[in-house]
Amino acid sequence: MIVSGSRTVAAPRDALWAVLSDPARLAETLPGVGDVSIEDEHRFSAVAHPVTALGATRVAMDFEIVEQRPSEHVRISGLGSAGENQLQLTVALDLAADGEGTAVSWSADVQLRGVWRSLLQRGLGSLFNEQVDAVLAAGALLSGASNER
């Protein structure tokens, strides 16, 4: 499914882009991240644990930064599994300066496979956007900004 959203974060555009385009730092922004392994300057794997009222969901993901334009654009693809379910995503983030902060808009193609596709069909879009939101908030913190707007 196609999901999109936007958010303004209180971090300078260059600094935020630097986080989002660096596998090591990008990995750190993932919710409940663990077992990070950096393959090269574009690829990394990590186990994320996005938390909802249901509990923490363990998803082992392989990410790749497939496209980048300094300070303005980054496209990341990911493929992960959780038991017999599978999550595949490609998310494109576009950054624009917004005063002191950065306006980020994203659009993603998210595909869930397995029984979760059925169970989470109503919520996938919301859940994904919430996770992107959390990543950007964490990214803002990592980029040196003290708080978000």
Indicate whether 66 belongs to the interface with another protein (CB under 8 A). no
Sign of CA dihedral 96, 24, 144, 135: positive
Distance CA 34, CA 15 (A): 23
Nearest Cα to Cα of residue 26 among 132, 106, 103: 132
Residues 107-126 that bind another protein (CB under 8 A): 111-126
Report the nearest approach of another protein to the CB of residue 68 (Å).
Answer: 24
Question: Are the C-beta atoms of residues 11 and 27 closer than 8 Å to each other?
Answer: no
In the complex with another protein, the residue whose CB is nearer, 44 or 128, is 128
- What the block records as the tokens of 132 is 């992107």
Is 78 in a helix, a strand, or coil? Answer: strand
The stretch among 11-19, 40-48, 52-60, 64-72 that binds another protein (CB under 8 A) is 52-60
Taking residue 13's Cβ as centre, other Cβ atoms within 10 Å add up to: 20
Indicate whether 57 belongs to the interface with another protein (CB under 8 A). yes
Indicate whether 31 belongs to the interface with another protein (CB under 8 A). no
The stretch among 35-43, 78-86, 98-106, 140-148 that binds another protein (CB under 8 A) is 78-86
Report which secondary-structure segment, H or E, holds 88. Answer: strand 85-98
The stretch among 6-14, 61-69, 84-92, 98-106 that binds another protein (CB under 8 A) is 84-92
Report the nearest approach of another protein to the CB of residue 63 (Å).
Answer: 17
What residue ranges bind another protein (CB under 8 A)?
52-58, 81-86, 111-127, 129-130
